[in-house]
Amino acid sequence: MSARRTEAERTAKLLELSRRLAGTGDLQSILSLVIDALRDLLDADRATVFEFDEKAQELFTQVAHGIGSGDAPKVIRIPMSAGIAGAAATTRRIVNIPDAYEDARFNRSIDQKTGYRTRTILAIPLLDHDGKLVGVAQVLNRHEGTFDRADEELATGLAANAAVAMRRGRLIEDRIERERLEQEMDVAKDIQAGTFPGEFPLIPGWDIAGESQPAEFCGGDAYDVVPIAGDAVAAPGEDPDGYVLAIADATGHGIASALSSVQMRGMLRLGLRLRQPIVKIAEEVNAQLCEDLPNGRFVTAWFARLDGRTGDVHTVSAGQGPILHYRRATDDFASTSADMPPFGVAALPYTDADSQRYSMAPGDVLVAITDGFYEAPDAERTLFGEERVQDLVRANRDRSAREIFEAIKSAVHDFSGHRPLEDDQTGLIVKRA
């Protein structure tokens, strides 16, 4: 009998491989089956399967004979156009090299590093049923002689089965990864939502509504309402005499932005528990975020200390504005802008001169909302703007804080044609009855 496998043996092996490939959706198992089948059916020394990374325009492999094993196998990446495998990928044709060292495309450096001697090479493009490149299989060193026409035909049949199985395995793996990420995103969303205030004790004569709606799973916005008794955070069950209010908007949206806004909220709460004034807290939050945030990222924020007995409000704004104060007695608005740059831009000292003070009389409304409302666009990219918000507050001035908030949300939603949010929408409405 010839040293080469008989046609019957090859056919039997090929059918067995097809059955096993159809029985698994695990990509690594598929790749291992393919390289073993290539080596055994073509009577070769070793085989490699390169996957095609379309985005990077690269071929990569971590499943090959002789490149390592264990929990963290070595990953090899090469440009799509490089070497023998690259030639098979770009031409979509089998490349049969009878003498590797006589071919200018062959990269000798790997042999030189490993001590392995490559003689013959058969590179087979792996195309799915749509003709789309999935990868390249490469078989090295025929035990006897060079790869012939029969080897090429066998490799072509094997490649067709392998490509379809690899495509299926990659889709399954991507789906599993996507589901895992979605589960983690749901957890992150729940954690972030848990940092927002739920119910809090209301001071007679005051009405507060707050909400945050992310544009993605997690938002870069945050808000807080902290009941205060004297100069300390009110204990559970203790009647407060004021509040510290906050809204924040981190650059972008998503998990990275959510981490920044949650970090800011945590530092605010810690500062209040240490009985620090809001201006000092703002200075320290800014200093810490200057150290922590990468270049180009920042957080705009607004802190306010509200005295529930007198209606006095002390505010400091780091890049957050406009903040609207509707004055019922005169039926007008005071619109205040930022006092300082956003947190994370420059470590600056804060003083009382960098803050503002005013008083809320009965019937007054304080509106602190992020730019997700003001900058919501319509179909022609016209922005909702401050004037429309003012008109809505004036028209709903005799309604509750929640009703005012809902009127703004509804109007913005209608204005933008009920399209998905382009930016997070977060805010607080405070009304003195």
Count of domains forming the chain? 2
Report the pLDDT value the prediction gives residue 338, as an integer from 0 to 100: 92
CATH of the domain at 196: 3.60.40.10
Which pLDDT score is estimated for 1? 37
pLDDT tens digits, 388-400: 999 999 999 999 9
Nearest residue to 133 via CA among 47, 49, 257: 49
pLDDT tens string 246-285: 999 988 666 777 778 888 888 999 999 999 999 999 999 9
The token pair at 187 is 């957890």
pLDDT-derived band of residue 25, with 50, 70 and 90 as boundaries?
A: low
In a domain, 76, yes or no: yes
Beta bridge partners of 133: 127
Structural domain boundaries enclosing 351: 185-432
| Model pLDDT, residue 109 | 76
pLDDT at 63 over 70: no
Q: Which of 176, 211, 229 is the last residue of a domain?
A: 176
Give the residue with greater pLDDT, 83 vs 29.
Answer: 83
Q: Which residue has the higher pLDDT, 79 or 419?
A: 419
Are 200 and 262 in a shared domain? yes
Rounded Cα distance between 165 and 138, Å, is 17
Domain membership of residue 44 (yes or no) is yes
Residue 35 resides in a domain: yes
Q: Looking at the structure, do residues 124 and 266 belong to the same domain, yes or no?
A: no
Q: 168 and 189 share a domain?
A: no
∠ at Cα 98 (96, 101), nearest 5°? Answer: 110
Which amino acid type is present at position 224? D
* Reported confidence tier of residue 432, pLDDT bands at 50, 70, 90: very high
Domain end marker among 112, 146, 176? 176
Q: Which residues of 234-247 are buried (b: 16+ CB within 10 A; e: fewer)?
A: beeeeebbbbbbbb
- Is 27's pLDDT higher than 70? no
CATH of the domain at 22: 3.30.450.40
> Does some domain include residue 2?
no
Is residue 98 domain-shared with residue 58, that is, in the same domain? Answer: yes
- Give the Cα separation of 214 and 212 in Å (integer): 6
Residue 299's DSSP bridge partners are 250, 343
Residue 21 near residue 28 (C-beta atoms within 8 A): no
Judge whether residue 5 has pLDDT over 60.
no
pLDDT 10s digits, 65-82: 555 544 445 667 878 888
**Which pLDDT band holds residue 195 (cuts at 50, 70, 90)?**
low
322 prior amide bond cis, ω within 30: yes
Last residue of a domain, one of 176, 209, 243: 176
Q: Please give the pLDDT value at position 65.
A: 55
Quick one: pLDDT at residue 128?
Answer: 77
Name the least confident of 1-10, 130-139, 312-321, 416-425: 1-10
Q: Is 302 a domain residue?
A: yes
Backbone angles phi, psi at 419, to 5 degrees: -80, 160
